Amino acid sequence: MGEHAFGQPLTRLEDDALLRGAGRFTDDIRMAREARAVVLRSPHAHARLHRIDAGRARALPGVLAILTGADVAVDGPGPVLSELGLPTFPKTGPTPGPVVKPTLPVLSDGIVRFVGEPVALIVAETETAARDAAEAIEIDYEPLPAVIDMTEAISGAPAIWPDAPRNIAFEWHGGDPEATSAAFAKAVHVSRLTVVNNRVAGAAIETRVAIGVFDGRYTLTTGTQMPHGIKATLARMLRVEPAMVRVVSEDVGGGFGLKNALYAEHALVLWAAKRLGRPVRWVSDRAEAFATDYAARDNLTTVEIAMDAEGDFLGMRVDSLAALGAYISPKGLNSPVNNTPAFAGVYRTPAIHVRVRGVFTNTASTDVYRGAGRPEALYALERAVDAAARETGRDPIALRRLNLIRPADLPRATPLGLLYDSGDFERILDRALAESKHRSFAARRDDSARRGQLRGFGFAHLCERVAGAWPESAELRIEKGKATIYAGTMANGQGHHTAYAHLVAIRLGLKPEEIGFVQGDTDRIADGHGTGGSASLVLGGSALHGAIEEVIRKARPKAAERLEAAAVDLEFDDGAYVVAGTDRRLAFAELARDLTVSGQHLFKPTNHTYPNGCHVAEVEVDPETGVVEIRRYLVVHDFGVILNPLLLKGQIDGGVAQGLGQAAMEQIVYGKDGQLLTGSLMDYTLPRAADFPEIEFISCPTPAPTNPLGVKGCGEAGCAAAPPALVNAVIDALSPYGIRHIDMPLTPERVWRAIQAAR
């Protein structure tokens, strides 16, 4: 194994082509005779369509087709399908009622319900001709009342959907309400905090692109994280057998969950391509992306913690409103409820009850985004624990330590249905405090005060459940010396080729740079769930591990021939077959030159993995301007066995940057009329490298017992822990003013106003 062992850095195999501009993103791909599509979108947040007159537009040069909801009714695709229902995991208390699931048409059915909703598809020879035609279409809108704020939506505002009279799509309960009520009845102190998890944009560097082809069957080329899921949903919408649909995804410039699910444009370009008999391309511009990509987060959550006289947690009660937008997106039921088990955190809280209500508003739909509910839950939890400590005069660190789950408690069932199987939470806490030099913080705070600055220390302690909800497949083929991996996952920037080739190199002794990699084509990959939930290395890597072992088994007779030994006498170690008890060996790389063999494996997890860690933020706040400067950010985390520290650090840095971006600067804002006020990069602030210090990382691993690699998912830890760590640090800095909470994002104006109000 040597240089390719676990834990050894391997530079990314993908980067050479990407840095030379040789990547193959969807808009780099060209089709013969392709036409260009533009979507005409509603300028109103809520309105009735009385008339669409496209006569003048159809007569313009180069226009090939103008399609509306009336055309959809004749031969168009069915509505965009929701892929998820409310989960039965964790166990529920009161029986949840039915979910109000309104139809999401690919083109408006006569009423538009958010700014940007598709009204017509214009296809022309050029994009310019299509845009000119879009401007020439005359539409008679009758504006209707718009509901934007969640609390107003459930408090007497007009109903967006008649079967949701208070704009509530569902009410869902998790945990045990009776046990939780009993715990609160015994409490000496109850702490209560309400927090906003601000609506944010995915803002992937590559906007959405879709190319549709029909040549007897449908082929969609698009950047997606889950090609097979898109294929299955499209087949249902187009009313054809799955074999009639192919989905191809090459390089993907960022996904973050918002490229998991199907969008209307995926079906529209295929429908138009069939009608016109030629390929149809649609490319979103950045303003269109802000208005119409599925948004993220947008929760209002109240957490109550019941404690006894010593500070032990007796119970927790959570009440959350989750904005769904005007429609429920394909995976829109996931984030609000499916990851509520994160409210258990790293604590021994014996009873927890969670209530979640999904709320319709006249805004773009929300969907999964890096963390998919874990960041929402962990932010509310870790802010509430800090607030409980301050309310009761306790040190936030001491209160956490008192309530931590201990190694001797493992395995431990949580009140929200998980089974924690590994981790040493107190060791993580101790290491974080030591490495952050917490004991000398008071001296640093005094130094800041001498310079007129307020210094704060904050942290977040978290445990996530990731990578256990679905099976994943992989195949390894050896063909005359050439090894090729066929992966059911789908990379969107993480470096899957590098990680999987590393695994093959470790076990078979092949050179990583000579190992081929195939993904993202439903004709070439038999099956696969795709990428999400920090699952790729855990599930995809374990599937590949099984495929490698199958190759070793199948090649054993060939090796026995070459070694002139019985197959049962061969052992496999360090990339070679060895005749037991002798020094006779045959390297797999040598055998592979004349070998044609394949191995396939479907890995079915028996439990999730539980990465856990402590993130520490130290900040300075200028009380005269409200500017927050992050002086230090430290991550001490248990990600299980580390395969490639370079890939791991990239995931940590990216996740933390997204989390700090949400905490400090990002927010989608609508006006009261539903107009998007943050519809460009001039209005929506994205984090830059200069905004943060170097992110320090220390590994403190315990192997995951439920997969053969011992790895735990790492992709979402940063964005889950960074918001509470930063906000806790800022509130600590502002504690001399008696400030208990400020909602994200902590912009200078928001912090300055809080200081002025406190003064």
For 73-85, the pLDDT digits (tens) are 999 999 998 766 5
Domain boundaries, the chain: 2-23+470-603, 31-144+207-253+259-292, 145-199+295-406, 421-469+607-759
Tokens encoding 297: 């987060």
413: three-class secondary structure by DSSP: strand
Answer whether residue 157 shows pLDDT above 80.
yes
For residue 468, the model assigns a pLDDT of: 85
pLDDT-based confidence at residue 426 (cuts at 50, 70, 90): very high
Beta 313-325 vs 47-53: how paired, if at all? unpaired
Answer whether residue 90 shows pLDDT above 50.
no
For residue 561, the model assigns a pLDDT of: 94
Contact 235, 241 (CB under 8 A): yes
pTM of the shown model: 0.95
For residue 93, the model assigns a pLDDT of: 52
pLDDT-based confidence at residue 91 (cuts at 50, 70, 90): very low
For residue 338, the model assigns a pLDDT of: 86
Q: What is the mean pLDDT of residues 309-317?
A: 98
pLDDT single digits (tens) 598-638: 999 999 999 999 999 999 999 999 999 999 999 999 999 99
Better-scored residue on pLDDT, 458 or 87: 458
499: three-class secondary structure by DSSP: helix
Residue type, 731: I
Q: Identify the CATH assignment for 145-199+295-406 out of 3.30.70.2520, 3.40.50.1010, 3.30.365.10, 3.60.130.10.
A: 3.30.365.10
- Which residue do the tokens 């906003």 mark? 196
pLDDT single digits (tens) 458-497: 999 999 999 988 999 999 999 988 999 999 999 999 999 9
Q: What is the mean pLDDT of residues 671-691?
A: 95
User: What is the 8-class DSSP label of residue 427?
Assistant: H
Q: How many CB atoms lie within 10 A of CB 132?
A: 18
Contact 538, 548 (CB under 8 A): no
Answer whether residue 92 shows pLDDT above 70.
no
Q: What is the mean pLDDT of residues 430-457?
A: 97
328: three-class secondary structure by DSSP: coil
For residue 81, the model assigns a pLDDT of: 82
Architecture in CATH of 31-144+207-253+259-292: Alpha-Beta Complex (3.90)
Architecture in CATH of 2-23+470-603: 2-Layer Sandwich (3.30)
Average pLDDT, the chain: 95
Q: Identify the CATH assignment for 421-469+607-759 out of 3.40.470.10, 3.90.70.10, 1.20.1740.10, 3.30.365.10.
A: 3.30.365.10
Answer whether residue 365 shows pLDDT above 80.
yes
Strand ordering across the sheet containing 111-112: 111-112, 47-53, 138-143
For residue 317, the model assigns a pLDDT of: 98
pLDDT-based confidence at residue 87 (cuts at 50, 70, 90): low
600: three-class secondary structure by DSSP: strand
For residue 245, the model assigns a pLDDT of: 98
Q: How far apart are the first and last CA of the chain?
A: 63
Domains 2-23+470-603 and 421-469+607-759 share a fold: yes
Q: What is the mean pLDDT of residues 43-69?
A: 97
Which helix (H) or strand (E) segment holds residue 632: the answer is strand 628-638
For residue 89, the model assigns a pLDDT of: 40
Answer whether residue 94 shows pLDDT above 70.
no
pLDDT-based confidence at residue 539 (cuts at 50, 70, 90): very high
Contact 292, 104 (CB under 8 A): no
For residue 95, the model assigns a pLDDT of: 59
